[in-house]
Amino acid sequence: MCIFCHIVEGAAPSHKVHEDEHTLAFLDINPVADGHVLLITKHHQQFVEDLPEELYNALFDTLKGLVKPIQVAFDAPASNIFINNGPNAGQLIPHVHIHIIPRPKKTGMNIFSGAARFRPRNREYFEEIAQKIREEIRR
Protein backbone atom coordinates (compact mmCIF):
# COMPACT_ATOMS: atom_id res chain seq x y z
CA MET A 1 0.00 0.00 0.00
CA CYS A 2 1.39 3.47 -0.85
CA ILE A 3 2.05 6.25 1.64
CA PHE A 4 -0.95 8.29 0.46
CA CYS A 5 -3.22 5.28 0.97
CA HIS A 6 -1.81 5.06 4.49
CA ILE A 7 -2.72 8.71 4.98
CA VAL A 8 -6.27 8.04 3.69
CA GLU A 9 -6.61 5.17 6.17
CA GLY A 10 -5.26 7.31 9.01
CA ALA A 11 -2.32 4.91 9.46
CA ALA A 12 0.16 7.68 8.56
CA PRO A 13 -0.08 11.24 9.87
CA SER A 14 -1.01 14.24 7.74
CA HIS A 15 -2.18 17.82 8.11
CA LYS A 16 -5.56 17.69 6.40
CA VAL A 17 -7.17 20.78 4.93
CA HIS A 18 -10.17 19.13 3.25
CA GLU A 19 -11.89 15.77 3.20
CA ASP A 20 -15.02 14.48 1.50
CA GLU A 21 -16.35 11.17 0.22
CA HIS A 22 -13.87 10.77 -2.64
CA THR A 23 -11.04 13.25 -2.06
CA LEU A 24 -8.54 14.36 0.54
CA ALA A 25 -6.24 17.39 0.64
CA PHE A 26 -3.31 17.76 3.00
CA LEU A 27 -0.06 19.69 3.34
CA ASP A 28 2.98 18.55 1.40
CA ILE A 29 5.64 17.43 3.88
CA ASN A 30 8.36 19.23 1.89
CA PRO A 31 6.61 22.38 0.74
CA VAL A 32 7.91 24.36 -2.23
CA ALA A 33 6.16 27.36 -0.63
CA ASP A 34 3.95 27.99 2.41
CA GLY A 35 0.52 26.49 1.73
CA HIS A 36 1.74 23.77 -0.66
CA VAL A 37 -1.20 21.36 -0.68
CA LEU A 38 -1.59 17.89 -2.21
CA LEU A 39 -5.05 16.90 -3.37
CA ILE A 40 -5.69 13.19 -3.91
CA THR A 41 -8.48 10.76 -4.62
CA LYS A 42 -9.00 8.38 -1.72
CA HIS A 43 -9.03 5.52 -4.21
CA HIS A 44 -5.52 4.41 -5.26
CA GLN A 45 -4.69 4.96 -8.91
CA GLN A 46 -1.30 5.88 -10.33
CA PHE A 47 -2.34 7.71 -13.49
CA VAL A 48 -4.90 10.46 -13.90
CA GLU A 49 -6.19 8.95 -17.16
CA ASP A 50 -7.05 5.71 -15.34
CA LEU A 51 -9.32 7.33 -12.77
CA PRO A 52 -12.96 6.25 -12.97
CA GLU A 53 -15.12 9.12 -14.28
CA GLU A 54 -16.82 9.80 -10.97
CA LEU A 55 -13.53 10.09 -9.11
CA TYR A 56 -11.95 12.19 -11.82
CA ASN A 57 -14.86 14.62 -11.63
CA ALA A 58 -14.76 14.62 -7.83
CA LEU A 59 -11.03 15.42 -7.89
CA PHE A 60 -11.40 18.43 -10.16
CA ASP A 61 -14.54 19.63 -8.39
CA THR A 62 -12.58 19.67 -5.14
CA LEU A 63 -9.67 21.42 -6.87
CA LYS A 64 -12.01 24.18 -7.97
CA GLY A 65 -13.19 24.73 -4.43
CA LEU A 66 -9.70 24.73 -2.92
CA VAL A 67 -7.77 27.08 -5.18
CA LYS A 68 -9.26 30.38 -3.98
CA PRO A 69 -9.11 29.61 -0.23
CA ILE A 70 -5.49 28.44 -0.53
CA GLN A 71 -4.50 31.54 -2.48
CA VAL A 72 -6.35 33.91 -0.17
CA ALA A 73 -4.86 32.28 2.94
CA PHE A 74 -1.39 33.20 1.70
CA ASP A 75 -2.30 36.49 0.10
CA ALA A 76 -1.43 34.98 -3.24
CA PRO A 77 -2.94 36.19 -6.51
CA ALA A 78 -1.65 33.07 -8.27
CA SER A 79 -0.80 29.43 -7.81
CA ASN A 80 1.02 26.61 -9.57
CA ILE A 81 -1.31 23.63 -10.07
CA PHE A 82 0.15 20.49 -11.54
CA ILE A 83 0.25 16.71 -11.69
CA ASN A 84 3.42 14.69 -12.13
CA ASN A 85 1.77 11.89 -14.09
CA GLY A 86 4.29 9.02 -14.04
CA PRO A 87 7.93 8.53 -13.00
CA ASN A 88 9.39 10.15 -16.15
CA ALA A 89 7.52 13.29 -15.16
CA GLY A 90 8.94 13.26 -11.63
CA GLN A 91 6.16 11.30 -9.94
CA LEU A 92 7.62 9.91 -6.72
CA ILE A 93 4.41 8.70 -5.07
CA PRO A 94 2.46 6.44 -7.45
CA HIS A 95 -0.96 7.71 -6.37
CA VAL A 96 -2.63 10.52 -8.35
CA HIS A 97 -2.12 13.86 -6.64
CA ILE A 98 -2.52 17.47 -7.67
CA HIS A 99 0.03 19.95 -6.34
CA ILE A 100 -1.47 23.31 -5.41
CA ILE A 101 1.20 25.89 -4.60
CA PRO A 102 0.14 29.44 -3.76
CA ARG A 103 2.38 32.17 -5.20
CA PRO A 104 2.29 35.43 -3.22
CA LYS A 105 5.11 36.88 -5.29
CA LYS A 106 7.05 36.05 -8.40
CA THR A 107 9.65 33.53 -7.39
CA GLY A 108 10.95 32.63 -10.80
CA MET A 109 9.89 29.03 -10.29
CA ASN A 110 8.57 27.95 -13.63
CA ILE A 111 8.82 24.42 -14.90
CA PHE A 112 8.36 25.79 -18.41
CA SER A 113 11.52 27.86 -18.39
CA GLY A 114 14.84 26.65 -19.74
CA ALA A 115 16.93 27.45 -22.78
CA ALA A 116 15.88 24.37 -24.81
CA ARG A 117 12.39 25.71 -24.90
CA PHE A 118 13.34 28.80 -26.83
CA ARG A 119 15.37 27.38 -29.71
CA PRO A 120 13.74 28.31 -33.00
CA ARG A 121 11.30 25.83 -34.56
CA ASN A 122 9.65 26.14 -37.92
CA ARG A 123 6.06 25.72 -39.01
CA GLU A 124 6.69 22.18 -40.30
CA TYR A 125 7.97 21.12 -36.91
CA PHE A 126 4.79 22.28 -35.17
CA GLU A 127 2.56 20.79 -37.86
CA GLU A 128 4.31 17.41 -37.58
CA ILE A 129 3.95 17.35 -33.79
CA ALA A 130 0.29 18.41 -33.90
CA GLN A 131 -0.41 15.78 -36.57
CA LYS A 132 1.12 12.99 -34.44
CA ILE A 133 -1.15 13.93 -31.54
CA ARG A 134 -4.26 14.29 -33.70
CA GLU A 135 -3.67 10.83 -35.20
CA GLU A 136 -3.42 9.27 -31.76
CA ILE A 137 -6.55 11.07 -30.59
CA ARG A 138 -8.47 9.67 -33.58
CA ARG A 139 -7.13 6.12 -33.12
Complete DSSP assignment for the chain: --HHHHHHHTSS---EEEE-SSEEEEE-SS-SSTT-EEEEESS--S-GGGS-HHHHHHHHHHHHHHHHHHHHHTT-SEEEEE---SGGGT--SSS-EEEEEEESS-----TT-SGGGGS---HHHHHHHHHHHHHHHH-
Which one of 22, 36, 95, 97 is the catalytic residue?
A: 97
Query: What residue ranges bind ligand AMP (CB under 6 A)?
Result: 3, 12, 14, 28-30, 38, 84, 90-93
Q: Is 97 among the residues known to form the active site?
A: yes
Select 59 or 102, whichever has its Cβ closest to Zn ion. Answer: 59
Specify the residue, 18 or 44, whose C-beta has the smaller distance to Zn ion.
44
Output 22 or 97, the one with its CB closest to ligand AMP: 97
Contact positions vs Zn ion (CB under 5 A): 2, 4-5, 44, 95
**Catalytic annotation, residues:** 97
